[in-house]
Amino acid sequence: MDIAKALCETAKLKCEFVIQEWTAMIPNLLDNKYDAIISSMSMSAERREKVAFTQKYYDSPTVFIARKNDDIAGTSPDDLKKLRLGVTAATSQESYARKFYGGVATTVFHASPDLYKGLADGKVDIILEDKLAVYDWLANTKAGGCCEFKGKDIKNTEYFGDGAGIAVRPTDKPLLDKLNAALEEIETNDTYDTINAKYFPFSIR
């Protein structure tokens, strides 16, 4: 949200922010219900077929998260074959899990908060999620104190793209150009780094 506000101010755009459930994000963009998606959307090949993306505005790997007191040796498909895996519907993580963890019992949750609660409550043993998306829950909520990252960061450009971008309709090149110019400006001055430091103890570029 802070980055979105900074971009609107820099590009001199009058912006209205709309809350939208994840599964309808792209369909409603294409249906002209709003003009851009700034919601940690990875620029996967599948999504690039439907929308146009700005340059990357942050990069976040995918990671497994499990409860701290659970003895999980590793995160390979063989390691997880007797465990219950959780993912969020219509995400790159769901697609990745279906491709590479097809033999693991998988529960698909409607939204990320449901996914996190499912892990905390023991409905699943491990989840696959965007690292920055889940970081706030892990670091700043009581419920998230139950859990921690497991294994190495996962980067796969086919499924997770080249980072997160702002999605616009393919026909809306003027807006795309304005947002790209604004991104370059806030990354050149101290605006972007100030926002980064407000939320994360590491760089998200």
Q: Percent of the chain at pLDDT above 90?
A: 86
**Which pLDDT score is estimated for 188?**
96
Same domain, 77 and 131: yes
Count the domains in the chain. 2
The pLDDT of residue 132 is 87
Question: What residue type is 4 in one-letter code?
Answer: A
Q: How far is CA 44 from CA 17, 158, 167, in A?
A: 24, 6, 11
47 and 130 together in one domain = no
For residue range 45-88, what is the model confidence (pLDDT) as tens digits?
Answer: 889 999 999 999 998 889 999 999 999 999 999 999 999 999 99
In the numeric block, which tokens belong to residue 4?
Answer: 């979105």
Residues 145 and 192 in one domain: no
Tell me: do 66 and 52 sit in the same domain: no
Strand partners of residue 84: 105
* Mean pLDDT in residue range 198-205: 83
Q: What pLDDT score was predicted for residue 141?
A: 96
Do residue 52 and residue 67 come from a single domain? no
Would you say residue 85 lies in a domain? yes
Q: SS3 for 182?
A: helix
Confidence band for 40, pLDDT divided at 50, 70 and 90: confident
User: Looking at the structure, do residues 148 and 195 belong to the same domain, yes or no?
Assistant: no
Q: Given a cut of 90, is residue 179 above it in pLDDT? A: yes
Same domain, 96 and 148: yes
pTM value is 0.71
Q: Given this model, what pLDDT does residue 202 score? A: 74
Sheet order of strands, 62-67 included: 105-109, 84-88, 126-130, 62-67, 147-154
Residue at token pair 């026909």: 171
Confidence of residue 204 (pLDDT cuts 50, 70, 90): confident
> Are 43 and 53 in contact, with CB atoms under 8 Å apart?
yes
Say yes or no to pLDDT of 10 above 90: yes
Last residue of a domain, one of 140, 155, 170: 155
Of 121, 137, 155, the residue that ends a domain is 155
Tokens representing 173 are 């090149």
Range of the domain at 151: 62-155
pLDDT band at 163 (very low <50, low <70, confident <90, very high): confident
Can you say whether residue 150 is alpha, beta or left, with left for phi > 0 and alpha for psi between -120 and 50 degrees? Answer: beta
Q: Which helix (H) or strand (E) holds 41?
A: none
Residue 46 neighbours by CB distance under 10 Å: 13
Task: Tell me the CATH number at 35.
Answer: 3.40.190.10
